[in-house]
Every structure is written in C-alpha cells, then in structure tokens.
Homo-oligomer: A and B are copies of this chain.
C-alpha cells in the first residue's frame, strides 16, 4: 500500500559524546521515508529544500525508489539547517542553531499522483499545514501525525483540530503530559484519546513506547543497546517503521498496531546505533525481522 510522508528535509550538524557530523541529511520526512521504505512501496515525500541541498542526497532517495516528485527545490533558497549537541547521557540535547531557510514558508502542495495515498504520515510540522495536506488528498485509510511542545503551546486550537482529523498521534512522553495537562502517562493517554484519535503512541526514549486505544494498552520496551551513537531521528524513524508495517499488512486492528509498535522500535534501534541516517541507510529485511523477533522476546515470559 502507498504511503505519503510530509515533513522537513534538512541538513543537520550533530554532536554527541561519540562524534560529530556536519551537513548530514536529516529532517523528519527523510527519516520517516527511509524507515517506511523497507516495508512497502511507493513511499512518497512532500518537502522543500534549497538549491544548496546536495545532489548525492537526492540520488540516495532516488536509488531507494523513494518517490520525490513532491520534493520542491527552491532556486536560490537555503535548506533548513539544524545544529544540536547531546549531553553525556544522550537523553538531553541543546539546539545550537536553527536556520529555517525555505522551510519557513513551506506550503505543502500534494502532486496529483500522490492524492490517492492510502497511508499518511504527517511529520512534526505546523498543525495548520498538517490540516492543509489532509484537505488536498482523497480519504486515506489511515493518517498518523507527530507534534511537539512548540505547537501545543503556540497553536493549541490548531493542534486540537488536527487531533480530530487523524487516526493516530505519536508523541513524546513530556509532550503528552503537556498536551493532557497531567503527569500520569495513563491518564494523559486517555485524555488524548478523548481529543479525537483512535490511538495514541507515547514515545519514552530509552524506556520504550506505550500504545493506547480505547480497548488496549500495550508496552514495548526499547531495544537494549549498549552502543548508542546518536539519537537524532529516532522518533521519526519510529513513525516510519510504524506506518511502514501497517501499510505493508494493510491491517489496522489493535493487535496489528502492537506489532507495528515493535517494528517501529526495531527501526528506531537501528537508527541510534550510528550517526544521522547511517543506521537505517542500508538494512536488509532479514536483519529487521531478526531484531523484531528478539524484541518480542524481551518482554515475553512463558506461563
């Protein structure tokens, strides 16, 4: 089944205690698309870059058969740039700079060939733009979106509106607490379900993720990695693995949402093992399956 991904495409300067990389390709749309692309085709990207965006990155997406008809290149424009430095324990980071460039006036236009996409993943962008995307496409089978504190605080009414339009919300734990105004994640999850979506996935970093629907609650641990190089893009990779599995199986039952959460965690675990996109650049489907099975065993106990 087809997947439509809308989000940022960026050049990142990343510093962690384990190294440093400048001008790495990044942005939510890139991580989501690379992860989802292991599960199904076509994966279609809508985004914007300047003409400083290196051709090698275009070629990379192209060679992976990711559909980039919707990736607009603005002549004379600058690509969105972000610089971040992670602390010792990798759970905290400082943003060193943000240069929005052409992303500041991003106005997602959905090509005709994208309009019948069945699965839609709205990366963490302005909720007004997220809504604009949904108004341009035929009714898809499933829409998920990400959001963040910046929008929850700055555009609460627009966030509330998008939550009525999507099937699922993916959100960090601190942002879930903020959105629901409650520190208890279970109460927060239920409060978010009251806001509209059929399911919510709360991402807890090294502590895994929790999936809640009206009928189900499910906990997935994070994969026990000793070697974490760079958490950049882990949340977006999670989203890409999640929607990728759903689109591949075309099954949105609660039980399959659980499997999708484990595939999401699986892809995120590969992501953090290397810098930038390197960890999810060239995986085999077999290695994904192997780690998925290990993941299931992490919390399995025989009766």
Residues 216-243 of A, flagged 1 when their CB comes within 8 A of B and 0 if not, give: 0111110011101000000000000000
Q: Which stretch (A33-41, A59-67, A202-210) binds chain B?
A: A202-210
State how many residues of chain A have any CB contact under 8 Å with chain B.
36
Please measure, in the bound complex, the distance between the C-alpha atom of A187 and the C-alpha atom of B90, giving whole angstroms: 14
Q: Which stretch (A105-113, A131-139, A293-301) binds chain B?
A: A293-301
Instruction: Tell me if A94 is interfacial: C-beta within 8 Å of chain B.
Output: no
Closest to A90 in B: B183
Residues 55-96 of A, flagged 1 when their CB comes within 8 A of B and 0 if not, give: 000000000000000000000000000000000111100000
A218–B298 touching, CB < 8 Å: yes
Instruction: Tell me if A255 is interfacial: C-beta within 8 Å of chain B.
Output: yes
> Could you tell me the distance in whole angstroms from the C-beta of A273 to the nearest C-beta in chain B?
12
A299–B218 touching, CB < 8 Å: yes
B89–A301 touching, CB < 8 Å: no
B301–A218 touching, CB < 8 Å: yes
Instruction: Tell me if A291 is interfacial: C-beta within 8 Å of chain B.
Output: no
Name A residues whose Cβ lies closer than 8 Å to a Cβ of B.
88-91, 177, 183-187, 190, 204, 206-208, 210, 217-221, 224-226, 228, 255, 258-259, 262, 296, 298-303
Closest 3 CB pairs between A and B? A89-B183, A219-B221, A299-B299
